Amino acid sequence: MARLALRDVCKSFGSRQVLKNISFQVEDGELVTILGPSGCGKTTMLRVIAGIETVDSGEILIGDRVVNDLPPKDRQVAMVFQEYAIYPHMDVFDNIAYGLRAHGAPKRLVDEKVRQAAKMLGLADKIHRSPGELSGGELQRVALCRAIVRDADVFLFDEPLSNLDPKMRAQVRADIVRIHKTLSLTGVFVTHDQVEALTIGSRVILMNSGEIAQIGRPEDLYYEPANTYVASFMGAPGMNLLEARLTRTGERILAEVGDSTLELCGTSMDQALRAFNAAKVDSYVAVILGIRPEDMRFGQSEIPASETNQIRGRLRLIEALGTERALHFSLVGSNKGEEFIVVTPSRASRADLDKEFNVICDMTRVRLFDHETGEAF
């Protein structure tokens, strides 16, 4: 295996810039996921690493070698696609062996490697079946075997689970995590599914229109989003982003949100101090206040009258999300027209539509963003 690095990589198709100054490094034995909405450049990123597309500028390194000018076959890269790309006229064994034979591997080595890989992915007893007799999950396992027998330096996975049903998806996902650990693969795994990105990658690269919005461990992106794009993309539903005005009274910093006043504490205090410094004022600073739906609770009866850090909201919609519910409140006193807060309460409480409630915020979990740029303070 080897390290993979991209340095200031740019790629355009005609006038459309699809990759904009992309730089990151995947360490030897690390599996990193690339996450982002459709069209943000994920597949193009894999294609330039594999050499299927050329870059306009920047460098791609595998190990210590710049591979920009190498054709795909000389890059030591193995790729697994969404469509399994299995040859229908060959049996499982021959499909797995295909790349090895094409590289002239001796028969005994081919036999040993194919059987080893098939065993690792639970296909040992299906080795002489034809692809037509296999399920989608088994076909994708054949594709995984074909990639791992190659002993490539870097493995690229382009949404390999997208065509599978949810149960099979979870199983093949676990297979990928297991073979990554066992073989210490260096890999890049592309997906638009958050759960997949967070469970597979030790680090996640979140893309936004050809740019990297944030690179970090899954918990960094979730709890310390670098900007409002990351904050709203991560989580389902995403972070609430509310217009707020910060004021200072002595040691205390307050945030006015709609009709309500919240008192900052912990890391959001430090962020607020940076916001005052950046604005070079000591009175009012307009910011975006972020808080996750699970860091709020509500209910008229359960909230003592003395409790602070409440936002007044009118309940507009109750959405069933499988095991939990998302409650959509319109913020009372918002000067932005209709501004919504989504709350996913941990326990079910009675909630009537169109009634007003106090929504209590866990102020230790608040994050502040620049009103103009959306960057976190």
The C-alpha angle with vertex 91 and arms to 88 and 94, in degrees rounded to 5, equals: 105
The CA distance from 360 to 159, in Å, is 39
- Count of helices and strands (H, E) across the chain: 9, 20
In the region spanning residues 188 to 247, those forming contacts with ligand ATP, defined by CB under 6 A, are 192
In the region spanning residues 179 to 198, those forming contacts with ligand ATP, defined by CB under 6 A, are 192
154, 186 Cβ separation under 8 angstroms: yes
308, 263 Cβ separation under 8 angstroms: yes
Q: How far is the CB of 355 from ligand ATP (least distance, A)?
A: 41
Please give the order of strands across the beta sheet that includes 296-298: 296-298, 356-361, 310-321, 324-331, 340-343
In the region spanning residues 259 to 318, those forming contacts with ligand ATP, defined by CB under 6 A, are none
Q: How far is the CB of 155 from ligand ATP (least distance, A)?
A: 17
Q: How far is the CB of 52 from ligand ATP (least distance, A)?
A: 10
Nearer to ligand ATP, 40 or 127 (CB): 40
The CA distance from 173 to 126, in Å, is 20
Stretch that binds ligand ATP, among 40-48, 145-153, 302-310, 327-335 (CB under 6 A): 40-48
**Should residue 36 be labelled a site residue for ligand ATP when binding is judged by CB under 6 A?**
yes
The CA distance from 82 to 189, in Å, is 11
Nearer to ligand ATP, 192 or 312 (CB): 192
Estimate to the nearest angstrom the gap between the alpha carbon of 93 and the chain centroid: 35
Stretch that binds ligand ATP, among 41-49, 89-97, 130-138, 263-271 (CB under 6 A): 41-49
Q: How far is the CB of 15 from ligand ATP (least distance, A)?
A: 11
Nearer to ligand ATP, 192 or 365 (CB): 192
| Secondary structure element (H or E) that encloses residue 324, with its range | strand 324-331
The CA distance from 198 to 203, in Å, is 8
**Should residue 18 be labelled a site residue for ligand ATP when binding is judged by CB under 6 A?**
yes
Could you tell me which residues come within 8 angstroms of residue 352 by beta carbon, excluding any fewer than 6 positions away? 315
User: In this structure, what DSSP letter does residue 263 have?
Assistant: E
Q: How far is the CB of 207 from ligand ATP (least distance, A)?
A: 7
Q: How far is the CB of 56 from ligand ATP (least distance, A)?
A: 13
Of the candidates 26, 31, 40, 148, which one interacts with ligand ATP according to CB under 6 A?
40
Q: What share of the chain is helix, strand, coil (3-state, %, to 5)?
A: 30, 35, 35
Q: How far is the CB of 11 from ligand ATP (least distance, A)?
A: 9
Of the candidates 8, 23, 39, 116, which one interacts with ligand ATP according to CB under 6 A?
39
Beta bridge partner(s), residue 86: none
Rounded to a whole number of angstroms, the distance between the first and last alpha carbons of the chain is 38
Stretch that binds ligand ATP, among 42-50, 163-171, 237-245, 281-289 (CB under 6 A): 42-50
| Secondary structure element (H or E) that encloses residue 286, with its range | strand 285-291
Of the candidates 4, 5, 35, 44, which one interacts with ligand ATP according to CB under 6 A?
44
The C-alpha angle with vertex 200 and arms to 194 and 205, in degrees rounded to 5, equals: 60
Sign, CA torsion 192/12/5/230: negative
Q: How far is the CB of 18 from ligand ATP (least distance, A)?
A: 4
Number of residues that bind ligand ATP (CB under 6 A): 11
**Should residue 13 be labelled a site residue for ligand ATP when binding is judged by CB under 6 A?**
yes
Stretch that binds ligand ATP, among 37-45, 149-157, 266-274, 303-311 (CB under 6 A): 37-45
The residue whose two tokens read 């994050």 is 367
**Should residue 54 be labelled a site residue for ligand ATP when binding is judged by CB under 6 A?**
no
Of the candidates 42, 113, 146, 328, which one interacts with ligand ATP according to CB under 6 A?
42
In the region spanning residues 341 to 370, those forming contacts with ligand ATP, defined by CB under 6 A, are none
Q: How far is the CB of 192 from ligand ATP (least distance, A)?
A: 5
Of the candidates 38, 301, 346, 373, which one interacts with ligand ATP according to CB under 6 A?
38
293, 235 Cβ separation under 8 angstroms: yes
> Which residues are near ligand ATP by CB under 6 A?
13, 18, 36, 38-44, 192
